[in-house]
């Protein structure tokens, strides 16, 4: 079967890792990771949370910056025109669905912030944090692959970061959109790697010095 993406050279140039990585954790909050919530019932996302916990354990041991976010709003007045009922009804400031999943969140280590749009970069303090930490490589984890993760990957690319996605550390409501979107961003914006490859990179760089 003809693949015009391959014939046109899409995905032909790997990005590779830089020297100062950070891990960005997108929307691993209770509303997406706990089954008592409407959007929290996906086994695929649950698995991604567990895999991300493994990644973060190794990142924190090596002084690698971790930035995590939740999506939330003050009211419907400042909310975009979302088409998802659970978001419209239960993800306002202080709602139980907006609490970070404790498996991936260390309040004494992580930089945590609230975002209001799909991308973790849009209208947020993330770029300022990454700049202060002298980051050149953004490792994107979280949910959902076809939504907020994809938006974050595209903006990470747009800001000039080397963008890496550990496949097992992102999840979606269904695996079909997960694979479709990973295949597409791999062609254009990011290196999609196995978790094992990212952990090997962590071992190679050792412990980072704290940015001034």
Question: Domains in the chain and their CATH numbers?
Answer: 19-204 (3.40.50.850)
Tell me the C-alpha to C-alpha distance, in Å, between residue 67 and each of 3, 39, 60, 74: 37, 22, 11, 22
Q: Is residue 66 a contact partner of residue 111, using CB atoms and an 8 Å limit? A: yes
- Please report the pLDDT score of residue 212 as a whole number: 65
C-alpha span between 187 and 14 (Å, rounded): 9
C-alpha span between 61 and 73 (Å, rounded): 33
Tens digit of pLDDT at every position of the chain (212 positions): 458 888 888 888 999 999 999 999 999 999 999 999 999 999 999 999 999 999 999 999 999 999 999 999 999 889 889 898 888 888 999 999 999 999 999 999 999 999 999 999 999 999 999 999 999 999 999 999 999 999 999 999 999 999 999 999 999 999 999 999 999 999 999 999 999 999 999 999 999 998 86
- Please report the pLDDT score of residue 1 as a whole number: 45
Residue 167 DSSP symbol: G
Q: Is residue 53 a contact partner of residue 9, using CB atoms and an 8 Å limit? A: no
- Please report the pLDDT score of residue 79 as a whole number: 86
Rg of the chain (C-alpha set):
17
Q: Which two tokens stand for residue 112?
A: 């945590």
The runs of H, that is alpha helices, within the chain are 4-7, 30-33, 43-61, 85-90, 126-132, 150-158, 175-188, 195-205
């Amino acid at each position: 079967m003809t693949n015009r993406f391959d014939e046109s050279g899409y995905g032909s140039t790997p990005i590779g890792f830089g020297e100062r990585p950070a891990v960005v954790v997108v929307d691993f909050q209770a509303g997406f990771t706990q089954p008592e919530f409407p959007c929290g019932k996906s086994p695929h996302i649950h698995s991604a949370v567990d895999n991300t916990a493994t990644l973060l354990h190794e990142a924190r041991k090596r002084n690698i910056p971790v930035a995590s976010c939740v999506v939330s709003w003050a009211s419907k007045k400042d909310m975009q025109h979302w088409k998802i009922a659970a978001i419209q009804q239960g993800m306002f400031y202080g709602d139980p669905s907006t609490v970070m999943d404790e498996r991936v969140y260390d309040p004494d280590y992580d930089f945590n912030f609230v975002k209001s749009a799909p991308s973790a970069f849009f209208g947020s303090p993330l770029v300022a944090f990454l700049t202060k930490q002298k980051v050149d490589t953004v490792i994107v984890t979280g949910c959902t692959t076809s939504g907020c993760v994809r938006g974050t990957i595209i903006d990470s690319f747009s800001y000039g970061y080397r963008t890496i996605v550990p496949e097992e550390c992102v999840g979606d409501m269904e695996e079909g959109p997960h694979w479709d979107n990973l295949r597409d961003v791999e062609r254009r914006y990011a290196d999609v790697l196995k978790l094992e490859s990212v952990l090997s990179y962590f071992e190679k760089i050792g412990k980072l010095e704290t940015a001034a």
